[in-house]
Structure 1
């Protein structure tokens, strides 16, 4: 885990004081955010704001969930995309728009262009998840598959723009995109006017920049401060290095389940805004995110993509301190069901509710029945067994067994392990 606190930031004990509320921020002003909201009023849904009793008890303050996973197209991206496209003149609209994306931005641009009567062409990597590919086409875009990674798709999109004169729609580094995303911040204050803390995901920075700027400028009219915390996946934490360096810095990202916010370099304008408007940036691990997804499914009955759950992960890992109502942004819900199945399994394992152990057993009849009875006596359930005589690590007189067991959590899992040890076995947790 890493955290980066904005110089001169903060509102809670043990942190520094925030910048003056009246200080000017780069990028859109409050009038621009309000105009964008009027522009989006018939297109964007005012998404629900749900209170979480479970997370409130964990944080010691009221926690609210801003459900952008229930937004049209399944994510907040439609806000910025529609706002930018709605500002194009007739000549630009006639030439169409182009974007490169493997996910939510593609769907937002496709939907916005179709709503405004424009042609859209989206360049996506060849390996893009089928649900995202099909959704983008269903929203009316012409999809071009190029290369095996985003950079190849981006290069193809830029070449298309140069050849056709179409307008390129960036995912985050544009004032009109940030202006549209900032409408989410205005909604937050309408729905939770006494909010003291807002926790928001950060990838390239368009969402966090818009939300933080809109909230700070609106709160300044009331003469008060609202603490803004940004959250990144620790395997793609470009803002941590960039804020430490004082300028946008390119990092080498590592694979993460939160691929929607895995951005190697912050956008220039989002960085300038976040540097001044966000109090702190923290990071969470993939296991933290997987556990957060389980909580959202079980406690809130919400399907959220990994990138959209990082704010919840930050609360669950103790990285958020708050002394009043706290709003967490669930930025999207577009997730491949097959991938979600893997993430759920990872989350259960990380929470020690899915325990996999390996043991050596004497090679004689009845041993499997003994193991099953021990697990049953501890009120746990065996869901999978692999039994083999061919593992080199065992004695020639033993066999190897891998068992997968569902438990109720860490204490219950430890009771199962201890019962196996008392019976003379040596379980190794895998």
Structure 2
């Protein structure tokens, strides 16, 4: 606007400074055309942007006058009261319960945290378990299972200093929300918490076990939770097409995980960093890696079925899950019309990632009384899972080694 004013004044002064002589009839038209040309050339983009900005500002002002979420009263204690609408218009809290819940469910995590600082009523809604349980399932559901939730409950129950635990979770909450909350609100809340520490403990003691606190513990990497890792230790050749239990911690800076594997025999704890999401899963069965899984699919196994089987190097090692397929007996030619392998008590398990002739290529189990089978030389085979999910089978095939193993 200032630039337009200067150009207009300059043009006017320049034209007034010319000798006062009679000009041709076309001169005034050229003068006006010149002025319009320079305005269009230099100022059109500016005015277009200004017009759009003013339109948006006018639109937002109209909306905010109807739903007054910005007008809030601060009490002497620094707490935010419910928004006050001086115009008598509609507030977001006047929406039906279902409509308000639908709005909050569709907000991003940052948006939900921002909405939580509007007023007391919205804060209570925005930290409710059902909203954060949905977010846990969406982001972490594929790798966090019941074992992880039990571990979280155990850590909460075994906390010796409840007050310090609560303060730690509040710090984690503030760390996450500091990216979206206004600094002034953060400071007022921090000051209020410092002045009223006892009130803080009392008001938040019921939330130490909330889904929000669990989400924050996972999101910030403070919580190590049990899960399983495919091809552990950066795809070490000795673990190709296997899946082992580990403790995981999320790294929000790289969007990867740290994996902490339990010691194997005399080996120390192994730690792997930079583990990608696609190499992780929640434990498919509720069985400890040191316990034998009780198989419930032995009578259903037929040639061509995809399976996972427990295997460990010796009795001191935990089990890992190894991918394989059910094969045909030596007496069977593989013809589906005449195959009777499923009627035999002997079941052949093949591991095609190993070359033919390798001692790891296949093994045989008894369908009726299978428990743990094996020896110190070839390791011990444990329980079996039949894979019925195409997604599980596809994930194993995506991890197939580039070369056949010996």
Instruction: State the TM-score, normalizing by the size of structure 1.
Output: 0.23
User: Which has the higher relative contact order, 1 or 2, with Cα contacts under 8 A spaced 6 or more apart?
Assistant: 1
TM-score normalized by the length of structure 2: 0.24
The structure whose Rg is larger is 2
